[in-house]
A and B are shown apart, each in its own frame.
Chain A
Amino acid sequence: MQPALEALNVRKTYGEHVALNDVSLEIPDRSIYGLLGPNGAGKTSLIRIITQITGADAGEIRIRGERLSPKHIGQIGYLPEERGLYKKMKVGEQLLYLARLKGLSRTDATQRIKAWIQRFDLAPWVEKNVEDLSKGMQQKVQFIATVLHEPSIIILDEPFSGFDPINANLIKDEILALRDKGATIILATHRMESVEEMCDNIALINRSRKVLDGPVSTVKDTFRTQTYSVEGKGRLMVVHPDFEVLEHHERENDHFHDIIRLHAGTTPNDLLRYLIGNVEVHAFRELIPSINEIFIRRVRETMPETLVEEPVA
């Protein structure tokens, strides 16, 4: 299937500063794509290029194979990290205005606003000024404004910030529902548990370069360390040519809990066979790194020494 969005060797500089360096991405259609990276890595720069707020210096963005152009503006919905609405404008008027700027007709917009307002329990607030709303409600309004024109590509930058757990869940369900209805969602966030939970694919950007991308399962696969958690009863030999015990915890009644890493060429089954022959196995589980661990590891790896030392100097 044709990807919903492709970035090809995108480069962006601000004066001397290189914000994006040769970044290429492929975002599959009808999926949730996690765009990860530490602050200042270049995520926002990339998003601003996709939303046509700025242009790339080199490279190009393609939407379903077509070169990005002003006609795509109506197909993209963007929820920036820095939320903002016209404070002195009524909720209803504001949504209508933002929808019409995206090319919606007045009647279409009014109808859809009504539906969303109902869905988010905002009906009593439609005639209120935005500044009279609580922060959470303002966020809801902003979310509605992002998706009102039914964009096929939705870019959400930290969509859960400012929401209480209940509303965060509501938003999460809406995002999943939008994906199921056919939208492609780019999720930029630092909340790794959301990434694990929701994303089909991820890309990690660090210091203006893409350092990692792919389907979440594949990424996790490549970061497997052949480490296993073993629980059981008995005595385990601590030194063995095929594996290495990283951690050993003794429990009462001869129970133990070990973390074991296999040496190259050893399979989990080899380890199991050895375990079965020597101890009573209660639990055997591979330790797959979380996205959070992968993130931290990869960022550290791609961080030059000079930068790590900088705070000291």
Chain B
Amino acid sequence: MPSNFWLIAQREYLTRVKKRSFLVMTMLVPLVVAAFGFFIVKIATSDNETQDVVRVLDMSGQRLGARLISTKQMQFKPVQGTLETVKKDYLKSEDDGLLYLPAGLSLEAPRGVQLYAKGNVSIRKQQAVENALDKLFSEDKMLASGLSQEKLDALKTNIDVASINLDESGKEKNSNALATSGIAYALALLIYLFIFMYGVQIMRGVGEEKSSRIMEVMLSSVKPFDLMMGKIVGIAGVGLTQFLLWGILSVGATSAVTALFADKLAATAKTETAANPGGAERAAQVMGGAEVASADNAATPADPAAAVSERFSVFKALRGLPLGMIVVGFVIYFLGGYLLYGALFGAIGAAVDDQTDTQQFMFPITMPLILSYIIGVSVILRNPDGPVAFWMSMIPFTSPIAMVIRLPFGVPVWQLALSVALLIVGFIGTVWVAARIYRVGVLMYGKKITYRELSKWLFYKG
């Protein structure tokens, strides 16, 4: 009865999806992802929030203090008075430091600069101050050596390396190595997690059926093969549903977080401009004109939404990747790998009486999975066309992970075809073996199961 297969798959699906734990997991993971997103956004914007305010007492008489450029990390605030009064005022204030530029400070002898702070001065703070002074002094030195302001501006560089992927046909593709690796890694992780999480569920499910002794009742109505495959397919449905919900909810939660922070980012951008009077003043002073667009300000995107999408969108990274191949390949290896391993997990569940006995049989099954993941993210990711990558993407036990890592880098069609063919052969083989073990195992109680015993089961007649 083919309809029984669907009845079984349906039951496996519905009983799991209706469980409270499913709902909890479905809600919890996107929350974690959103919290993670929140954390990232927080880090991205936190530089401004923790901007140090340093008071500057300039006795040099060269307007050095006023020309110090405030950055996202540090704001310089010129103050007037004697060192004593300024120190007192500073101690009463909330500000983070007091920079003292003594009289007689010159380009030739930049000595005597002091940074007062409450408590120890952090290296970061000290370096920020030193950098600001360095920049100022070297610019002044360059100007003093006869370099014009135009030349100086022209000397400033903004390097952005774009890597280009030359494929065999000679076409150029924009390749973003980091994004490609990231996608490869993500796909492999997804398959790895899926097989592990839901493979173990299959094993547990079979074990529960066995220990609750409902097997005999079931088998008087349905074929063991239908029972096993129904469970595997039903649980696959649960997994896909969960992943889909996670995906939707995560995207939703993350965009909610970024939307929430878009305002904040916009505010940050404004304060940045506002907090940069030093820069503006310096430009105005040096140029004597209206060219306010300093390098610092230009680097700060004016539109916060654009900044967000720039930071979190994957669209840019996806450009130039073999998308069709990735999507089709991923689906094939995702399902193929799950079915292959799922059948084996089911066989383990059927073979043993006790969940604690599963360990010895788990090991040889999880080994290739773990290995392909570890080698995948270390060796294959670095050398996706090497011999290790090739062979691991051919063996059905490792190919689901090894091949998806290679996919974003581009794989010759013949290799993909061969690998998929081998995967299908491997899948049919393992399901055959698993079904035989399952059929005998589900009604076998109180027997110590060894590999020898299992191999005998393969040849029992129906």
Interface residues of A (CB under 8 A from B): 14-15, 48, 51-55, 57, 70, 73, 76, 78, 80, 82-89, 97-98, 100-103, 142, 145
The segment out of B54-62, B98-106, B170-178, B219-227 that lies at the interface is: B219-227
Question: In the bound complex, how far is the Cα of B213 from the Cα of A73, in angstroms?
Answer: 20
Please indicate the chain B residues that have their CB under 8 angstroms from the CB of A52 in the complex.
Answer: 220
**How far is B12's CA from A86's CA once the two chains are assembled, in angstroms?**
11
| B218 (CB) vs chain A CBs: closest residue | A101
Nearest A residue to B462 by beta-carbon distance?
A55
Contact A145 B7 (CB under 8 A): no
Known interface pairs A53-B443, A85-B214, A86-B214; A73-B462 also in contact (CB < 8 Å):
no
Name which residue of chain B comes closest to A12, CB basis: B461
Is B4 interfacial (CB 8 A cutoff)?
A: yes
- How many angstroms from the CA of A70 to the CA of B219 in the assembled complex? 12
Pairs A–B under 8 Å by Cβ, sample size 5: A80-B213, A85-B214, A86-B209, A86-B212, A97-B7
Q: Give A57 to B462 CA distance when docked, in angstroms.
A: 8
Is B15 in the interface zone, CB < 8 Å from A? yes
A15 touches B456 (CB 8 A): yes
Query: A80-B216, A82-B216 are known contacts. Are A89 and B15 too (CB-CB below 8 A)?
Result: yes
Across the A-B interface, give the 7 residue pairs with the lowest CB-CB distance, nearest first: A84-B213, A84-B214, A51-B220, A55-B462, A80-B216, A101-B221, A78-B220
Further pairs besides A52-B220, A84-B216, A87-B212: 10, Cβ < 8 Å: A15-B460, A55-B461, A73-B221, A82-B213, A83-B213, A88-B15, A98-B217, A101-B7, A101-B218, A101-B221
Is the Cβ of A97 less than 8 Å from the Cβ of B461?
Answer: no
Q: Are B217 and A97 in contact (CB under 8 A)?
A: no
- A101 and B81 CA atoms in complex are apart in Å by 93
**Whole-angstrom CA separation of A89 from B217 in the bound complex:** 15
B220 and A97: CB pair below 8 A? no
0/1 interface trace, chain B 420-462, chain A, CB 8 Å (1 if under) = 0000000000000000000000010000000000001000111
Residue numbers in B under 8 Å from A86 (CB-CB): 15, 209, 212, 214
Whether B11 is near chain A, meaning CB under 8 Å from some CB there, is: yes
Q: Are B216 and A53 in contact (CB under 8 A)?
A: yes
Chain A residues near B220: list those with CB within 8 A.
Answer: 51-53, 73, 76, 78, 80
Cβ of B286 under 8 Å from chain A: no
Cβ of B200 within 8 Å of any chain A Cβ, yes or no, is: no
Taking CB atoms, residues of chain A closer than 8 Å to B222 are 101
Taking CB atoms, residues of chain B closer than 8 Å to A53 are 216, 219-220, 443
Q: Is the CB of B4 within 8 A of A101?
A: yes
Give chain A residues whose Cβ lies under 8 Å from the Cβ of B208: 87
A48 and B444 alpha carbons, distance in the complex (Å): 13
CA distance A83 to B7 in the complex (A): 22
A15 to B460, CA, bound (A): 7
CA distance A65 to B219 in the complex (A): 24
Query: How near does chain A come to B231, taking the closest CB pair, in angstroms?
Result: 12
* Residues of chain A contacted by B1 (CB below 8 angstroms): 70, 73, 101, 103
